Amino acid sequence: MQRLPPLPSLQEIIRIYGLSAQKKLSQNFLLDMNLTKKIVRSAGKLNDALVIEVGPGPGGITRPILNSNTKKVIVIEKDRRFLPSLQILAEASSQKLEVVHGDILSTDLQQFVSPEFHSHWQDPPPNIHIIGNLPFSVSTPLIIQWLHHMSNKSSIWKFGRVPLTLTFQKEVAERIVAPPKSEYRCRLSVMSQYLCDAQLKFSIQGKAFVPPPKVDVGVVHFVPKVQPLIQQNFTLVEKVNRHLFQMPNKYYPKPLSTLFPLDREDLVSDMVEKSGINVELRAFELTIEDIGNLCNVYAEIVKKEPDIFTYDFRSKKSAKERRKRGTLIESLEEKLLSNYYVESDSENVDVAR
């Protein structure tokens, strides 16, 4: 097994290259190698794997990845100040490591996959792993972008059910894995869980980072499901969820009603009746199966009346009317995640902003 030769410590690398953490890039480094090894272990067995690490910074996670008997490692880093120190790792790894300078939000990962790693969607996941400890402002829009790609089997998901191991602000990690009735249940829970098996592996206290962020961090492992639990297109599922979770604590017909113009209450009744879901369930109590039923009925309606899909309850006129009727309430969840969701309903929308 090829291991890295002795190298300067991460602290020394940071000092030698003057790598101060930049606030504008939300750089918080993990220098405790026990924790970086634990993150890498939570990705699973990496023998002979192709690993893509996003946001390597000074290389605290990259080192244990290189020491895990991996075949090829690609790191994608936006801040060019880290490139020389990552290059040292590339040389020490006999060029097993390839350093890419770029922004992960606009990088199509499929370019890094050679045919030997391809597999089919129905097969067990390919030996490709994506790992990253990114700034929170990047990891949330990124997971939404990637969930969208998984749903289309596009980008790197052309080559099978590539798993992800990513860090998030702990509260967001808890939301990703939250079951129905949990106080953390939100649209990110549903969007993640209808497409993936998502597991919160462990948490890391904020104070373990340098400099320490004000919040703790959760490490989440995602494996795409062979069969998504909702069989509708991502944009439609995202729209139904966005409406439901504007008011997670209200009986679900109320937030659902914002999907339709005010004079089309008949369609709300239609959805409730056809889905057969108890009207006394609140949005946060719905299971993914329930939400899947609602999406199916909504898709039927939209097929018959395509204009319904483009109806926007926040247009000036309807927003005013709805405010009067109390169906325009900003929830806490909305505030936390709103920056990470596009407001447009077009199919080709890039969900990362």
Feature table: binding site for S-adenosyl-L-methionine: 28, 30, 55, 77, 103, 133
Q: Which of 12, 48, 91, 103 binds ligand SAM (CB under 6 A)?
A: 103
Give the tokens for residue 16.
């030698």
CA pair distance 236, 345, nearest whole angstrom = 8
CA gap 220, 204 in Å, rounded: 12
Which residue, 25 or 328, is less far from ligand SAM as judged by CB?
Answer: 25
Q: Which of residues 49-78 bind ligand SAM (CB under 6 A)?
A: 54-57, 60-61, 76-78
3-state SS assignment for residue 132 = strand
Strands 50-54 and 72-77: parallel
Which residue number, 63 or 72, has a Cβ lying nearer to ligand SAM?
A: 63
Q: Is 221 in contact with 176 (CB distance < 8 Å)?
A: no
What secondary structure letter does DSSP report for 247?
S
Coil, helix or strand at residue 144:
helix
CB 86, CB 166: distance < 8 Å = no
Query: Shortest distance, CB of residue 138 to ligand SAM, whole angstroms?
Result: 5
Decide: 213 and 325 in contact? Cβ < 8 Å: no
Among 13, 27, 180, 318, binds ligand SAM (CB under 6 A): 27
- Interface with ligand SAM, residue 104, by CB under 6 A: yes
The nearest distance, CB 252 to ligand SAM, in angstroms, is 36
Residue of minimal Cβ distance to ligand SAM: 55
Q: Could you tell me which stretch among 91-99, 103-111, 254-262, 298-306 binds ligand SAM (CB under 6 A)?
A: 103-111
Taking the C-alpha atoms of residue 5 and residue 93, their distance in angstroms, rounded to an integer, is 8
Instruction: Closer to ligand SAM by CB, 29 or 298: give it.
Output: 29
Which positions lie near ligand SAM, rule CB under 6 A? 25, 27-30, 54-57, 60-61, 76-79, 82, 103-105, 133-135, 138
